[in-house]
Structure 1
Amino acid sequence: MSTSTPAPSPATAPAARTSPTAAVVRTEARLFGRELGSLFWILLFPTILLLIIGLVPDYRTPEADLGGQRVIDLYASVCVILAMIMASIMAMPPVIAGYRESGVLRRMRTTPMHPASLLGAQVGLHAGAVLVSIVLALAGARLVYDVPLPRDVLGYAVSLVLATAAAFSIGAVVTAVSANTRVVQTVGTIVFFPMMFTSGVWLPVQGMGGWLHDVVTATPLGAAAEALNDSLVGRTPDLADLAVMLAWTAVLSLVAVRRFRWE
């Protein structure tokens, strides 16, 4: 009597077909879900800040100097960028630096799984958290303060992608030039405050005038604030702003790739 090898059960078949990359993503997702501090600063802090800012009565009054917009309308875009800053500068670089410092990246280079898969998983997870944060911020602004949703949806989507890429390219440079977690936290903090300023957290970019406005909009996050706000009110984003974000992303990504160390 002949016997045949039993077919894999439904429970084991998917596991057998799971690719190494999928396994890395799954593992990183579990670890990321345990980082409650990072999740708070990325997912909730921008919306909380937006709701607090809106409590100031003057910020809910249209201003002629802002083209009839209210300050709270401008902060809808600022808080979207703030989520990107939190993820790309304060959350992701320490994780990757920790993997480098502990030898995880070095050991992965001796296996079929390239460390780039782990880095890609980290970028994807943090970018996904930023997307959730953006939905929360826009929904909160709309429901509580009647801030309009983006009227130029395509322009907003393009601006959002470029702004996210620019922010994460800055985070990639911070990670690349920092030897360990202590250095990456120091460098990240130094970079964090200028990024907060150029994105308009302390003073909306649209409220800046003269040379200061010109300088700030030549930075990736200053250009992002302009492009996102233009899309919010229904204007097509200025091609100059999109070009600034794209150029910074290209240059910073090249620097990050050239300077990155696996160990």
Structure 2
Amino acid sequence: MNALAKLTAVETKLLLREPGSLVSVLIPLFILVVFGSSIDATDTTLLPMSLAIAVGLVGLYLLPTTMASYRERGILRRLSTTPIRPGSLLAVQLVLQTALVLIACGLLMGVASGVLGVRLPGGLLPTLGVFLLGTAAMFAIGLLIAALAPNGRAANGIGVLLYFPMAFLAGLIQPVDQMAATVARIGEYTPLGAFRSALHQAWSGQAPDVLPLVLLAVYTLAVSALAARLFRWE
């Protein structure tokens, strides 16, 4: 087994032991089961919302906390003296965190369709495209948090402070149609709001509006570039 494979195996074990991984899976699943049992099976809102919640938890909480903790503990600095460079650890983490997102969302879709009878999206490719774009935007913000936070605890706090206001504005806590028009409009321009909106449209079989897709692409590119510029390996 080469060094990169060993690193991947070790990081996989650590991720599975991380309580935040379980939280990122169970909270969206809890929301889906509790609210899904009381709504019509033809509803096209709850499952996309649950998927967005899962992606947001991993991207804004788990990813930045992990990377900032590694820098705080000097792991990234020590890796710079080995054949495995710090960038390799970052790449492995992104792959594993993406896999966690896919597992969480796969579980949500399985429970929704198999237990609650919720219909799955008709247009699979558009939905998948929106999902991947939204995930990229959330991960970009997570990496920016990791770049700015001095330690893992700070990254955790920043992620939580960002997540809940964004989740509220995106309509993941209170339905958009029950929000003030101005607040709902502001929410459409947030990363999580654009993600929820585009995912809901694709899930419903509609062509997603151009605006949320453009916003997600801009957030992904601009925030990723800023995170790369500010990120410190030690």
TM-score range, shorter chain: over 0.9
Aligned residue for 2:24?
42
Using CA pairs under 8 Å that are at least 6 residues apart, name the structure with larger relative contact order, 1 or 2: 2
1:15-69, Cα deviation, whole Å (9 max, x unpaired) = 3xx2x2222111111211222x22321222211211111244xxx259xxxxxx7
> Is the contact made by 2:170 and 2:188 (CA closer than 8 Å) also made in structure 1?
no
Partner of 2:107: 136
- Is 1:99 the equivalent of 2:70? yes
* Whole-Å separation in 2 of the counterparts to 1:61 and 1:98: 43
The size of the alignment, in residue pairs, is: 234
1:207-226 map, 5 Å:
208=179, 210-226=181-197
Alignment RMSD: 1.9
Identity %: 32
Higher alpha-carbon deviation: 228-237 or 197-206: 197-206
SS at match of 1:157: helix
Gaps of at least 5 residues in structure 1 are: 1-14, 63-68
Larger Rg over CA atoms: 1
Distance in 2 (alpha carbons) for counterparts of 1:85 and 1:200? 13
Verify: 1:159 aligned to 2:141, yes or no. no
Distance 2:61 2:141 in 1: 11
Q: Where in structure 2 are there 5+ consecutive unaligned residues?
A: none
CA distance in 1 between counterparts of 2:115 and 2:171 reads 21
For 2:169, which of 165, 188, 198 is the aligned residue? 198
Between the aligned partners of 1:81 and 1:42, the Cα distance in structure 2 is: 11
SS of 1:145's equivalent in the other structure is: coil
Question: Which amino acid is 1:104 matched to?
Answer: I
TM-score by length of 2: 0.92
Equivalent runs, 1:1-263 vs 2, <5 Å: 15=1, 18=2, 20-35=3-18, 37-56=19-38, 60=39, 70=43, 73-205=44-176, 208=179, 210-263=181-234
1:190 and 1:45 map into 2 onto residues whose CA distance is: 17
Task: Pick which of 184-193 and 74-83 moved more.
Answer: 184-193
Contact 2:63-2:139 within 8 A present in 1 as well: no
